[in-house]
Amino acid sequence: MGLFDALLGNAGEMDPNEAADELSTILGDDERVELAYKLVRDMIVLTDYRMILIDKQGMTGRKVEYHSIPYKSVTNFKVESSGHFDLDAELKLWISGQGEPISQEFSSKTNIYKLQGILARKIAGK
């Protein structure tokens, strides 16, 4: 992930093993990280059971909010690839019981189709 993408607020892909090490205290015993994205200090992690949105707060980042979203709670989602003039890819998730979607932008280098494939498989229950 480049500095320009970070300044724009676009997440970039990170190594799933690195994410698993960082999240070892909150992952279940047999839970496995399949895909992870990092935005400066915040992260988006897809495991075999859930999606985790990590928000590191404050100056030091010691206070951390973990928002777990079970795949069965996602009612639908939308991905948008980057274009020539719109340089970021986008994900929108609609969660059962919430009116507004959760939205996240990704770097143009992010393989949004890989993210879409995992979400489609998890939400369809396969």
Structural domains of the chain, with CATH:
3-123 (2.30.29.50)
Give me the pLDDT at residue 82, please.
72
Span 59-107, pLDDT tens digits: 776 888 999 999 999 999 998 887 655 567 888 999 998 889 998 888 7
Give me the pLDDT at residue 7, please.
39
- What pTM was estimated for this model as a whole? 0.80
CB within 8 A of 57, min separation 6: which ones?
63, 64, 65
φ, ψ of residue 55 in degrees (nearest 5): -120, 105
| Highest mean pLDDT: which range of 7-16, 20-29, 80-89, 107-116 | 20-29
Q: Which helix (H) or strand (E) holds 8?
A: helix 3-8
pLDDT at 51 over 80: yes
* Selection from 107, 101, 118 nearest residue 47 by Cα: 118
Asked if 54 contacts 63 with a C-beta cutoff of 8 angstroms, the reply is: no
Give me the pLDDT at residue 87, please.
63
pLDDT at 2 over 60: no
Give me the pLDDT at residue 84, please.
57
Q: What is the mean pLDDT of the chain?
A: 82
